[in-house]
């Protein structure tokens, strides 16, 4: 998928995005949500969001993919 010669750069970009951008934005969103619906409501909505994301992953074709060739077979 990703050539070995640029794998370190790709990993560094993902780390910068997740730790430098996504975490602070998520914390800001969580604080705003907790201020709007309360802390308990914010925690409940967070749990519900995680449950929905797990459900979407389990119901998607992703768990059945084991190799790159499986993706090509599913697309055709």
Domain residue spans of the chain:
4-65
The pLDDT-based confidence of 1 (bands split at 50, 70, 90) is confident
- The pLDDT, as a whole number, for residue 72 is 74
- The pLDDT, as a whole number, for residue 30 is 92
pLDDT, tens only, 25-74: 999 999 999 999 999 999 999 999 999 999 999 998 887 777 777 777 77
DSSP characters over the chain: ---GGGHHHHHHHHHIIIIIIIHHHHHHHHHHHHHHH-HHHHHHHHHHHHHHHHHHHHHSSGGG--SHHHHHHHH-
pLDDT higher than threshold 90 for residue 10: yes
């Amino acid at each position: 998928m990703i050539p070995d010669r640029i794998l370190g750069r790709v990993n560094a970009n993902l780390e910068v995005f997740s730790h430098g951008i996504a975490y602070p934005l998520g914390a800001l969103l969580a604080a705003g949500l907790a201020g709007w619906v309360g802390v308990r409501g914010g925690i409940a909505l967070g749990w519900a969001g995680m449950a929905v994301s797990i459900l979407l992953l389990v119901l998607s074709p992703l768990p059945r993919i084991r190799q790159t060739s499986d993706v090509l077979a599913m697309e055709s």
